[in-house]
Amino acid sequence: MKKYTYSAKSSDNPGKWWVVDAEGKILGRLATAIASRIRGKHNPLYTPHEDMGDSVIVLNADKIVFTGKKLEKKIYYRHTGYIGGLKEMTAKKLLEQKPEDVIRFAVKGMLPKNKLGRKLFKKLKVYVGDKHPHEAQQPEVLEV
């Protein structure tokens, strides 16, 4: 008799919605918890090459906390596409201008760098205030 290893499919995962309040949370610890939930590592059916994760809504992105001197010393880079077009911005300035991007960049760096990672990244929704337009999905509160 042949024995087969069960390999879960994306259709086996119902996909829940979670809401996280980022107020007073440390960026790295919050990002690892979110990335793990999006990737589906909490799920017993976890399969590395399939989307087994849940969707996560992050509220109060502007109230995230950095430890140490990261607020002044951490630098985010981007490139315009033109020669010599490397732009840099400190974490403090990015937190003032686009606080959602601080969490997005942290979580994106923890996801796979391939098609699956790009698909999983779309499951992250980040908002500055404490309101979100996803009430129809009935998200549950995730304590981090």
Torsion of CA 132, 122, 92, 60, to 10 degrees: 20
**pLDDT digits over 79-99, tens only?**
999 999 999 999 999 999 999
| Contact partners, residue 119, CB within 8 Å, separation at least 6 | 51
| Residue ranges of E strands in 5-139 | 17-21, 55-59, 75-79, 86-90, 124-126
What letter does residue 79 receive in the DSSP assignment?
E
Residue 3: per-residue pLDDT: 81
Tell me how far apart the alpha carbons of residues 92 and 66 are, in angstroms, rounded to a whole number: 9
Residue 6: per-residue pLDDT: 85
Question: In order of start, what are the domains of the chain with their CATH numbers?
Answer: 15-65+97-141 (3.90.1180.10)
Reading the block at residue 113, the tokens are: 């760098």
**pLDDT digits over 58-84, tens only?**
999 999 999 999 999 999 999 999 999
In percent, the amount of the chain with pLDDT more than 70 equals 99
Segment holding 141, helix H or strand E = strand 140-141
Q: Of 123, 110, 125, which is closest to residue 22 (Cα–Cα)? A: 125
Residue 1: per-residue pLDDT: 67
Average pLDDT over the chain reads: 96
